[in-house]
Amino acid sequence: MRVAIEGLEVALSGRTVVSGVDLLAEDGEIAGLIGPNGSGKSTLLRTVYRYLRPHAGRVLLGGTDIRSLTPAASARLVAALPQERGSDFELSVRAVVAMGRTPYKRAFAGEDRADADLVTAALEQVGMAGAGGRRFSALSGGERQRVLLARALAQDPKVLVLDEPTNHLDVQHQVELLALLRAQRRTTLLSLHDLNAAASLCDRLHVLHEGSLVASGTPREVLTPELLAEVFGVRVAVVDHPLTGDPLIAFDHRAM
């Protein structure tokens, strides 16, 4: 499902955090948001999963303004993986994944066979089959993130929205998680800190700087030394990845 963001403007406690952002993610495309801390990536994503209400502008899902849908109806289309990492409330892994069914269930309704199957399938997809009875809070960071992705998959969404999904993961788990996302073939909107991960995963990149969109395009179009110097204030060389052929950003860690 196509996601279109038009003229988005968000103000938080009086301060404009995102202004005038237009952005398009075609059906089945993985769209990455990059930009320094505080550039408005999380804020933008939060308007897509309706944690924040935009000040102006709108978010369209396949042509429908999400604000015209009920919260449950838009949650059936968009699943989010925010940066929250849960708490110690003795939730089992299965209970966490089953939360993905929330937007489909009426009050008092229990889990039916179809729900149970979706939950099991989602756990299998992320390689956590058989872990359903474990305590969520006792999992490692990588396992937790995979379970949260399983929750998003159990939501059976048309669009996945992920805020820094690889944060706090070691390299192996980062690679695994990105491979999982690539295999989904769903419209995906995500923010990433790791520019090389963004270059290899995303079909299109959108660069945010101080709340405004400063560049959009394929990774090769966007990831230029000039732009990275301007937005991130770093000196880099962009070369071809010897294994994959993707753009590879080599930082000059000695430059001041």
Partner 1 sequence: MTALATAAEAEAEREPGARAGWVGALLGVALVAALIASVCLGSSDVPLGEVWSSVARGISGEEPVPGTRDLIVWQLRVPRALLAAVVGAGLGLVGTAVQALVRNPLADPYLLGISSGASLGAVAAIVLGAGAGGLLGLGLSSAAFVGALASFTLVWAMARRDGGFSPLRLVLSGVGIGQFLSGFTHYLVLQAGDDQQTHGVLFWLMGSLGGAQWSTLALPVAAVLLGLVVLLARARALDAMLMGDETAAGLGVDVARLRRELFVVTSVLTGVLVSVSGAIGFVGLMVPHVCRMVVGGAHRRLLPVAGLFGAVLLVVVDLVARTALPDQELPVGVVTALIGAPTLLYLLDRRLERG
Minimum distance, C-beta of residue 88 to partner 1, in the bound complex (Å): 7
Count of residues making up the chain: 256
Interaction of residue 209 with partner 1, rule CB under 8 A: no
In the region spanning residues 120 to 139, those forming contacts with partner 1, defined by CB under 8 A, are 130-134
Q: Are 222 and 207 in contact (CB under 8 A)?
A: yes
Give the span between the Cα atoms of 138 and 92, in whole angstroms.
10
Question: How far apart are the C-alpha atoms of 48 and 18, rounded to whole Å?
Answer: 13
Q: How many chain residues interact with partner 1 (CB under 8 A)?
A: 45
88, burial (CB in 10 Å: exposed 0-12, middle 13-18, buried 19+): exposed
CA 216 – CA 206 distance, rounded (Å): 4
Shortest separation between residue 29's beta carbon and partner 1, angstroms: 20
Select 120 or 216, whichever has its Cβ closest to partner 1. 120
Distances (CA, A) of 12 to 1, 16, 40, 103, 156: 29, 6, 11, 27, 31
* Nearest-angstrom CA–CA distance, 65 and 53: 12
> Please, what is the minimum distance in Å from the beta carbon of residue 34 to partner 1?
21
Is residue 155 close enough to count as binding partner 1 by CB under 8 A? yes
Q: x/- string (CB under 8 A) for partner 1, residues 46-85?
A: x--xxx------------------xxxxxxx-xxxxxxx-
Token pair for 194: 């790791």
Among the candidate windows 42-50, 164-172, 205-213, 237-245, which touches partner 1 by CB under 8 A? 42-50
Q: Which stretch binds partner 1 (CB under 8 A): 3-11, 15-23, 95-103, 173-181?
A: 95-103
- Please tell me whether residue 214 binds partner 1 under the rule CB under 8 A: no
- Determine contact, residues 43/17, Cβ cutoff 8 Å: yes
The C-alpha angle 239, 243, 245, rounded to 5 degrees, equals 50
Nearer to partner 1, 34 or 162 (CB): 162
Per CB under 8 A, 165 contacts partner 1: no
Residue from the set 25, 44, 59, 96 that interacts with partner 1 by CB under 8 A: 96
- Tokens 């939501």, located at residue: 155
Supply the minimum distance, in Å, between the C-beta of residue 66 and partner 1.
Answer: 11
14: contact with partner 1 by CB under 8 A: no
Is residue 40 involved in binding partner 1 (CB under 8 A)?
no
Q: Please, what's the b/e burial string for 13-26 (b: 16 or more CB within 10 A of its CB; e: otherwise)?
A: eeeebbbebebebe
Q: Is 256 in the site for partner 1 (CB under 8 A)?
A: no
Contacting positions for partner 1 (CB under 8 A) = 46, 49-51, 70-76, 78-84, 86-92, 94-96, 98-103, 105, 107-108, 110, 130-134, 155, 161
